[in-house]
Amino acid sequence: MQQMAVILDCPDETSLRALGARLAQMLRAGDAIALQGGLGAGKTTFARGLIEAYAGIGEVPSPTYTLVQTYDSGPLPVWHYDLYRLEDAADLTELGWDETADGIVLVEWPERAGTRLPKWRLDVTIDFQGEGRRVTLEPHGEGWQTRLHGF
């Protein structure tokens, strides 16, 4: 099946958070969302909107230094990674990377995971557009393709 990308305008932080909240309604066990985009693009902003809606957590810190934050107050556990400071993909093991199958994974700087990044995932790419952002949702695998239908 052809994998169709969805492109959305998010002119401000509120609309980007709202997009995260909208995706929170669709999550299933084992989902991985790769948050692509440069420094300050809005990856954490999107993750905050999603985690707030899914796990009811208002204060979502950036995992810049801890590399991972977990949230257990939603229907499934959420693992929020920021791999910017990851030195070696082998270090993912001690960050719980192989224990997330029954949960939801959000990853900032996903390319640092190398070949350990799940193949079946949703890529959320955030680009700067004027004062706002342009967001591309690109499904990899039928599970996401079906859910994005009519998004």
Ligand X SMILES: Nc1ncnc2c1ncn2[C@@H]1O[C@H](COP(=O)(O)OP(=O)(O)OP(=O)(O)O)[C@@H](O)[C@H]1O
Told to check if 43 binds Mg ion by CB under 5 A, we report yes
Q: Annotate each residue in 13-42 with x if it binds ligand X (CB under 6 A) or - if it does not, as one string.
A: x-xx--------------------x-xxxx
Q: How far is the CB of 70 from ligand X (least distance, A)?
A: 18
How many secondary structure helices (H) and strands (E) does the chain include? Answer: 3, 7
Q: Annotate each residue in 56-95 with x if it binds ligand X (CB under 6 A) or - if it does not, as one string.
A: ------x-------------------x-------------
Angstrom distance (rounded) from CA 63 to CA 105? 13
Angstrom distance (rounded) from CA 76 to CA 139? 21
Residue 24 or 35 having the CB closest to Mg ion: 35
Angstrom distance (rounded) from CA 97 to CA 3? 26
